[in-house]
């Protein structure tokens, strides 16, 4: 089924074979920003795959293009070269097969919690009881069922991001894409949200791609960590984190992973 597009060129390499089993596959992705005076290579030959149900974090120093990579996977920006495929079909624009969670929450302030979560369902034409049941289910999943009728202004940062997650999951996306979702909440709330996110991930069997600059956060959450380097943005190494969950930061194994990844980044 994926053969048609590539058949003429005859590119049946090992890479495309492995893509067929992957949920998400990023193939030799490049992004160059050209201005009048110079060109900046934001991403160069980025290549990795995410398996179905896997939790993958992308970490890297600022300027390594991780947000650009996130936006290309989301379909909010076009790649200069290469491609992103989701379940074998190339990403050409934003779509509900990828649920997005943003650092600044991106809630619609004029909509209540319930109405925010319902937004994507409205666009899909889910009506009446089916819609309200789905919204209630999502609010229970993130522990906000008592706040259905509150406006975002009445919520704390952590609660806002729970709404963001519920809204993204409501349309049942193939992939949950998160861009530094807990960057704006305090450390204590962040720890709590990590636990909740892992619970939600286990409960929903979603594939998660999570961008962060926080190495400890990546080691806490991820099955695998894609470590990026800057100038130009590229994949330095992909690290599998083989620690049972829940992971404790005080464990020596945890510290070893953090140290190794920091070494790769060059912090």
Partner 1 sequence: MSNDEVGTGVTLSETEADERLLDRLAGFSSEQTWLAVAGFAGFLAVWYVAALFQPTYLLPSPVEVLAAFVVELTAPASLSIPFTGAELPATRLLVKLVQSLYHYVPGLLIGTSLGVFAGVAMGWNTRVDSVFTPVSRLLRPIPPLAWIGFAVIWLGVNHQGATFIVAIGSFWINFYSAYGGVEGVSEDLKEVAATLGVDDDWTMIRKVVIPAASPSIMTGIRTSIGQCWMIVVAAELIVGVGVGYEILNTAQNLAMDVSVAYMLVISIVFLVSDGLFRRVERRVLEWRA
183 lies in the binding site for partner 1 (CB under 8 A): no
Question: Residues binding partner 1: what is the number (CB under 8 A)?
Answer: 40
Letters for 104-133 (x = contact with partner 1 by CB under 8 A, - = none) are: x-x-xxxxx------xx--xx---------
Among 133, 146, 202, 263, binds partner 1 (CB under 8 A): 146
Stretch that binds partner 1, among 1-9, 129-137, 153-161, 254-262 (CB under 8 A): 153-161
User: Shortest CA distance to 249 belongs to which of 257, 238, 261?
Assistant: 257
Determine the length of the chain.
Answer: 267
Sign of the torsion formed by the C-alpha atoms of 103, 69, 220 and 60? negative
74 lies in the binding site for partner 1 (CB under 8 A): yes
List, in order, residues 6 or more apart from 95 with CB less than 8 Å away. Answer: 75
179 contacts 105 by C-beta, under 8 angstroms? no
- Residue placing its CB nearer to partner 1 in the complex, 30 or 75: 75
The DSSP secondary structure of 233-249, one letter per residue, reads: BEEEEEEE---PSSP-T
- Scan residues 204-223 and list those touching partner 1 (CB under 8 A): none
Q: Report how far residue 195's alpha carbon sits from residue 166's, in angstroms, rounded to the nearest whole number.
A: 15
Which tokens go with 120? 């994507």
231 DSSP assignment: T
Residue 155 Cβ, how far from partner 1 at the closest point, in Å? 6
192 lies in the binding site for partner 1 (CB under 8 A): yes
Which tokens go with 224? 């695998």
Stretch that binds partner 1, among 28-36, 58-66, 93-101, 228-236 (CB under 8 A): 93-101
Q: Which phi-psi region, left, alpha or beta, contains residue 252 (left: φ > 0; alpha: ψ -120 to 50)?
A: alpha
194 lies in the binding site for partner 1 (CB under 8 A): no
Among 55, 147, 201, 257, binds partner 1 (CB under 8 A): 147
- Residue placing its CB nearer to partner 1 in the complex, 94 or 263: 94
Residues that bind partner 1 (CB under 8 A): 74-76, 93-96, 98-100, 102, 104, 106, 108-112, 119-120, 123-124, 143-144, 146-147, 150-156, 158-159, 167, 171, 189, 192, 196
């Amino acid at each position: 089924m994926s053969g048609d597009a590539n058949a003429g060129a005859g590119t049946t390499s090992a890479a495309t074979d492995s893509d067929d089993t992957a949920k998400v596959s990023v193939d030799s992705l490049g992004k160059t920003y050209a201005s009048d005076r110079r060109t900046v290579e934001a991403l160069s030959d980025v290549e990795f795959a995410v398996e179905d149900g896997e939790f993958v974090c992308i970490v890297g120093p600022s300027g390594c293009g991780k947000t650009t990579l996130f936006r290309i996977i989301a379909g909010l920006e076009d790649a200069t070269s290469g491609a992103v495929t989701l379940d074998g079909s190339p990403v050409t624009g934003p779509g509900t097969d990828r649920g997005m969670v943003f650092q600044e929450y991106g809630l619609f302030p004029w909509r209540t919690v319930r109405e925010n979560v319902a937004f994507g369902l409205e666009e899909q034409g889910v009506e009446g009881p089916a819609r309200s049941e789905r919204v209630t289910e999502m609010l229970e999943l993130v522990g906000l069922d008592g706040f259905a009728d509150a406006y975002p202004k009445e919520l704390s940062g952590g609660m806002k991001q729970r709404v963001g997650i519920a809204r993204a999951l409501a349309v049942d996306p193939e992939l949950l894409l998160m861009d530094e979702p807990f960057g704006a909440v305090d450390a204590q709330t962040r720890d709590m949200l990590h636990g909740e996110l892992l619970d939600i991930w286990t409960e929903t069997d979603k594939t998660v791609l999570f961008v962060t600059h926080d190495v400890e956060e990546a080691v806490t959450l991820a099955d695998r960590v894609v470590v990026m380097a800057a100038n130009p943005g590229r994949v330095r190494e992909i690290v599998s984190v083989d620690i049972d969950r829940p992971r404790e930061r005080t464990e020596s194994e945890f510290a070893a992973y953090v140290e190794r990844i920091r070494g790769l980044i060059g912090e």
